[in-house]
Structure 1
Amino acid sequence: MSFALYMVGFLIFMAGVIWGASVAGVPTLYIGIGALIILGLGIFSAVSRTRSKDPS
């Protein structure tokens, strides 16, 4: 799976979580902090899953 495809799916997931938090009444500051944390985790996981393995 390509990095771009992985990140698009993760951004759609993150948008849903943000939308749900805003509907639930979570303060905007906490939504922003959570979004940054989720984005960082998404980048780390996308890089680790899509990078090619080094030949031995």
Structure 2
Amino acid sequence: MSFALYMIGFLIFLAGVGWAASVAGVPSLYIGIGALILLGIGIFSGVGRTRGKDPS
């Protein structure tokens, strides 16, 4: 799976979580902080999952 495809899926997930938090009445400051944290986790996991294997 490519990194771009992984990030597109993760951004869609992040948008859904942010929208649900907004509907639930969470303050926008906390939504922004949570979104930044989740985006960082998504980038780290995306790089780890899509990194090419080192040749032996």
TM-score (norm 2): 0.97
What does 1:1-56 correspond to in 2, within 5 Å? 1-56=1-56
User: Which runs of 5 or more residues in structure 2 are unaligned?
Assistant: none
CA RMSD of aligned residues (A): 0.5
Runs of at least 5 residues in structure 1 that lack an aligned partner in the other structure: none
TM-score by length of 1: 0.97
Deviation >6 Å, runs of 4+: none
User: Partners of 1:30 and 1:54 in 2: how far apart?
Assistant: 39
Identity level (%): 82
Equivalent position SS for 2:6: helix
**Partner SS, residue 22 of structure 1:** helix
